[in-house]
Structure 1
Amino acid sequence: MKISARNVLKGTVKEISVGAINTEVTIEIAPGIEIVSIITKSSAERLDLTEGKEAYVAIKSSDVLVGVD
């Protein structure tokens, strides 16, 4: 995966909270250090996010993106 964001952190999905339109995803990047992102429900489904799955947090400017291999 190649993206333009310079701040890419690998972690593990710790918690997923699904809403009607958006999904809140908590990713633990180190013991006790978590990043929370709100993404669309359809993006979470497309990425097949599940607790325990490895994922990436990409931070660019004011956006926080989530990706998987």
Structure 2
Amino acid sequence: MKISARNQLSGRIASIQPGAVNGSVKVDIGNGMIITANITEEAVSDLALSEGDQVTVLIKASDVLIGK
């Protein structure tokens, strides 16, 4: 499968927090860095995601915001 997202980070699912509609998936990409993705519960189920799974985080964004 070809995709246009160029920002791809490999990691392992550290935790999945279910929600009513969306789940929060935390992916450990190494060096103490965690990326959190909020995806639908349907997507969590369709992808059969579980803690410890090796996954790829794909980042495609037109805006990146930083606040302090």
Task: Give the alignment's TM-score, normalised by structure 1.
Answer: 0.84
Q: 1:21 to 1:62 in 2, by over 3 A?
A: farther
Q: Which runs of 5+ in 1 are unaligned?
A: 64-69
Partner of 2:66: none
Instruction: Give the structure with the higher percent strand.
Output: 1
Q: 1:58 to 1:42 in 2, by over 3 A?
A: same
Letter in 2 for 1:13: I
* Whole-angstrom distance in 2 between the partners of 1:62 and 1:36: 18
- Structure of higher CA gyration radius: 2
* Whole-angstrom distance in 2 between the partners of 1:49 and 1:38: 13
Task: Give the alignment's TM-score, normalised by structure 2.
Answer: 0.85
Query: 1:52 offset after TM fit, Å?
Result: 0.3
Q: Which runs of 5+ in 2 are unaligned?
A: 64-68
Moved over 2 A (4+): none
